[in-house]
Amino acid sequence: MSGNSHSAGFVRVDREKATRRSLIERRKELAKEESQRTGRDADLPLIFGSSWGEHRPHNLRAPASVRPPVHRASSKTVGIALPFLAETGPAMDGAFIGPDLLSRGMFSWDPWIAKDARVIRSESMAIIGVKGSGKSMLAKSMATRLCRLHRRIAVPHDPNGEWTRVAEWVGGKTIRLGPGSRHRINFLDPGPRPSILSDDGWEYDVHQFQSQRLQAAVKILRQTTVLPEQEHTVIDLVLQAVRSRHTHVLIQQVYDELMNPTGEFADEIRRDGVGLQHTLRRIVRGDVAGMFDAPTSVGFDLDTPMVTVDTSMIEKASAEARALMRLATNDWIDRSTGASDQARMVIHEEAAVALLTEIASGSGLEQRAADEKVARHKRKSNVYLIHRIADLDALGDVGSALHSQALGLLADCETRVSYAQHPGELDRSAGVLGWNDTLRELVSKQTQGVGLWQIGQSKIAHIRNVVTPEEEAIFSTGGVQ
Ligand SMILES: Nc1ncnc2c1ncn2[C@@H]1O[C@H](COP(=O)(O)OP(=O)(O)O)[C@@H](O)[C@H]1O
Ligand SMILES: [Mg+2]
């Protein structure tokens, strides 16, 4: 037996023996001093456990620690040598999410930091998983922790009212909309004027916006995607007449103008506007009355950490009322924040339903796809919570433009988090999200709160979202939602 390591081992053991011997000697001396002082025999126990533990099984001691030689390599090399076990990129800064079950490192996330580091090209995210898998829990813990890093959060549509406590907890604000609530959002409210727009530019923008809103409302109420040409013209003429008299346009005024046209195009409006009178009557007199036809009563405070819109009061209303509400709240947040370049995360609970509404309003998904492109410049991070890929498939026939737009939207989300999936849908998810067999296997075994993160082109993490007991009490939905 030769070699440095062995001789070093013997040296260490010898030194231990020597130390123990000297300790025994010292104990004896102490015992002697004690008996001299007290005049009695001192019987100090000489308890010295062996450094290797007692000679019995399970003695909770390891004979000698393994000390492999240190090997240094770049994280890229280690990532390739030990796939799934080593982090492949630098650790990310941001809000703490939880441990990575593959690399055992701690994982934090902030889409803006990741974008600045060129890990992703767009800040938007998709979180996909069955009900109760932990999507909202992740969105809430990520959002509240990002709030503390001075990011702003908006939830334009909270059908279960589960974000109200969350907003309150971080000093945010909740707007409750529905019959009986004192909060109102005017369906035709164009929001604040961006400072870059000239007077004419702003006039044009407001006119376009209001005309599109009226068209969308009519399409939703009639459940159609096309309007006759004459009605386009009537909407235009009516708006022109109302806008010449009022600064803040309400649907009620549009309706009154349709019923009793006063301007120079009164005859045209009277002749071609009969259908519109009947459709818009639902908003001012019918089942949807009172929700959208009053001036906006709430201001959007850009500095509030979190703004959520609780729409749980209208969950029992008609499908059209809910669709109008989605459109109104989404646009209200969009237009209120449009002029600011603050980093803002917009969380879309039940995103597939929101997309369906956009399709029902006649704008298809082009508007949403365009919004995604603009979002990159506006520092807006859309977070789409989706139950399953099949929900996106349902938006349009396979092979149709709408279908590819829906999947394209998912592709635009450079951060995809997959929570537990229905076993029957794993193959479809694997195909759309580009999983190999290993990733598919990983997702199939995921438990509540664990998600596979696919970040940018190549980064993969398997994260258990950690929440504190206090957070859990506030975020919990008390069941599946
Ligand atoms: N990371 C987690 N840690 C602890 N409990 C969790 C976690 N994720 C989910 N849960 C529990 O599961 C419930 C449902 O989770 P939630 O996020 O609301 O599901 P969904 O995917 O339907 O949005 C929560 O109320 C909570 O009790
Ligand atoms: Mg949820």
Per-residue model confidence as pLDDT tens digits over 428-441: 999 999 999 989 99
Rg of the chain over all Cα atoms, to the nearest angstrom: 32
* Ligand (nearest to CA of 135): 1
Q: Whole-angstrom Cα distance, residue 322 to residue 86?
A: 47
Looking at all shown ligands, the one closest to residue 159's CA atom is 2
Please state the atom number of ligand 1 nearest to the C-alpha of residue 387.
Answer: 21
**What is the pLDDT confidence band of residue 109, given thresholds at 50, 70 and 90?**
very high
Torsion angle in degrees (nearest 10) through CA of 320, 156, 195, 301:
130
Q: What are phi and psi of 406, to 5 degrees?
A: -65, -45
* Cβ–ligand 1 contact at 186 (below 6 Å): no
Instruction: Say whether pLDDT at 161 is over 90.
Output: yes
What's residue 40's pLDDT? 78
pLDDT of residue 51: 60
Q: Decide if pLDDT at 210 tops 70.
A: yes
Ligand 1 near 476 CB (within 6 A): yes
Least confident of 14-23, 32-41, 203-212: 14-23
pLDDT of residue 53: 60
How would you class 173 by CB atoms within 10 Å of its CB: exposed for 0-12, middle for 13-18, buried for 19 or more?
A: middle
Dist CA 161 CA 183 (whole Å): 15
Any idea which ligand is nearest the CA of 387? 1
Q: Any idea where the domains of the chain sit in the sequence?
A: 1-61, 95-179+306-475, 199-284
Is 30 a pocket residue for ligand 1 (Cβ < 6 Å)? no
The secondary element (H helix, E strand) that includes residue 464 is: strand 459-464
Distance CA 184, CA 177 (A): 7
- pTM for the full model? 0.79
98 lines ligand 1 (CB under 6 A): no
Which amino acid would we find at residue 17?
K
Tracing tokens 């007692």 back to the chain, one arrives at 54
Q: Is the pLDDT of residue 173 over 80?
A: yes
CA 11 to chain centre: 58
Angle at 331 between CA 328 and CA 333, to 5 degrees: 110
Q: Ligand 1 in contact with 227 (CB < 6 A)?
A: no
Of the options 3.40.50.1010, 3.40.50.300, 3.60.40.10, 2.40.440.10, the CATH number for the domain spanning 95-179+306-475: 3.40.50.300
- How far are the Cα atoms of 71, 212, 312, 481 from residue 239, in angstroms, in the given order? 73, 11, 32, 41
Contact 75, 87 (CB under 8 A): yes
Q: Which pLDDT does position 419 carry in this prediction?
A: 96
The Cα 59–Cα 470 span in angstroms is 39
Which pLDDT tens digit goes with each residue over 425-481? Answer: 999 999 999 999 989 999 999 999 999 999 988 788 999 999 999 999 999 986 444
